[in-house]
Structure 1
Amino acid sequence: MSQVTIDTNEVDIVIAAFNSDLTSFLEEWRPIFSRFHLIIVQDPDLKEGLKIPKGFDVDVYTKSDIEKFLSSSSSAAMFSGYSCRYFGYLVSKKKYIVSIDDDCSPAKDNNGDIVDIVTQHITNLKTPATPLFFNTLYDPYRKGADFVRGYPFSLRTGVPCVLSCGLWLNFADYDAPTQALKPELRNTRYVDAVMTVPKNSMMPMSGVNIAFDREIVGPSILPALKLTKEGKYRWETMEDIWCGLVVKVICDHLQLGVKTGIPYVWRNERGSAIDSLKKEWQGVKLMEELVPFFQTLKLSNDAVTAEACVMEMAAAIEKGIGGSRLELANAADNMVEWVKIRKEVESRVLG
């Protein structure tokens, strides 16, 4: 792995807490996380107080904290369930955010060594990405690798990488139908590689193990597609999928890079595939409509920042697929609301 300098003052680790006792989780991660500032956001639906061991530099945000930060209860509702992690992104002051859920443990690489997810994520973000031309040896900037024969020299400087999508051992990020049909399926392969997602290729993003450059692409890491049945139930597993479609279109437009591969985490099982299927099945169908829309979505030359792209994209969604589906129109409204909330919170946090 190419060595990069990691300033601990540049990194926040955001943890979405769905269990009240975080003792074992944080003790497992102590060798890595104790060097950094932690932002722990408690799922507003979790009633018990959090148990957090001593020795961490940590800020904890609960449902009441979220409501105090925001000017309206409807805004606070954006951060229910899995979307609570996005509130951590709002209040961070750091350039880089590493995000992980509390059902993840440290993974081991093929040599049996603990994977330092922070170091690898920041390495991914601090080295260029190559979305414009695929290098068949994956990451050409990694120690021991280079560009292959035929790779244009004019493209070898790459582009800035702003999003790093890590992977999972054990319980991979399969959808509910796959889990239900293959309940014994586990990911046991540790592939020691990083690759850039090519330009104009969509991807399913999981918010469980990611890192991003908050300063550049933060406005596009957002919760938007959330509700169905007149707002009574969450599409819990669609929130980060929608976010991934949004951020990839914006990165392609702004000539920014997205990487996937290492670092891995060991993901523990949680919940029932059948229960997940009840929440997911409409989202599974909806993806067949969403992907073609995002594949053909073009932003104007006037959209030169992530925030401007979000606003322009929201208008395009409202005019296009949002015209026939209320939940998509609501998602467009939530994107506009996100930009507003982000400005509101940043004025308080950074002002």
Structure 2
Amino acid sequence: MTITTKLITVVGATGRQGSSVVSSLLQNPNFRVRAITRTPSSPKARHLASLGAEVVKADGFNTEELSLAFAGSWGAFVNTNSEDPELLAKGLNDEDLGRNIISTAAACGVQHLVYSSGLPVFELSNGAISIPGLDLKSKVYTHATTLPFRTTTPIIAGWFMENLLEREYADLFGGFPLIPDEEGYLTYKTPLWGGKEDFPWISITDDFGDLVHGVFLNPGRWNRRVVQGVGQVSGSEGVSKVFGEVTGKKTRYIPLLDPQDMNTQGEFWREQERDVFVFAQSRDGEYFCNGPTEVETAGELKRAAVRAKGGEGREELMTVREFMEREFGGKL
């Protein structure tokens, strides 16, 4: 008996989210994966090809290239980089890019779309808060719901555990967990999140791809359902404590009572991160705006994906402690 595999095209395939999605889907014999990139010769693109992905060149503003990329696709995962310097150079923004990609996918007959979305912060705050990196993605998803897809699913990622590995993020948050302060402490300085301090964490590398995979296994179930991309809920004070336990380093947590005290240095990306806290506080910590932050949905999707991969991999979501043990244990 011939088994017909379904082709899923991944836009943003060499990025952190996209590569996680490609890696997960390729482990399911019922899916074929087409990885879209502007530079097929890059090391990241060649790595995806070595895993079994069909790597195709396409620019997000080139409709002809996109049409070839989406041809024959049953599903598509789309993620765009709102901070892409090429957008600014062209006088365009993430909404322009996302709308063109999504519209082309629909025109090519893609049935099921999973979109890495954002929240309509400006709308929900009645204009009090604007976070373009989230607002523009929300507008793209709204546009997607007007197109002839059979299903559209927005997934909104929580805070990347991988950010803990970036010096720029450490500098934004007082130096934690990479840069000791003048007293020798790895000091974690963050504004309060609001409510019960249910801060959402996710390991993009370990879990995000499986969540998207889980949606594609039953897209009708998740049609127009906001998926919280969360692997663990843990307040900042607890994260600081766990890091100290894992590494034996001197750590401390200092809450910033005013988000304006964050070390933004007048840089746009830092100001957006600050405003994420401002928005979360306005919602009493319910950042995703569809109820309390939770991991049950992600857990369900993760388990479904692991089963579809023949039981390969762990069914449990990565915890902050486990991530730190792997990335920092014995290293510092």
Taking structure 1 as the reference length, the TM-score comes to: 0.28
Where relative contact order (Cα < 8 A, 6+ residues apart) is larger, the structure is 1
Taking structure 2 as the reference length, the TM-score comes to: 0.29
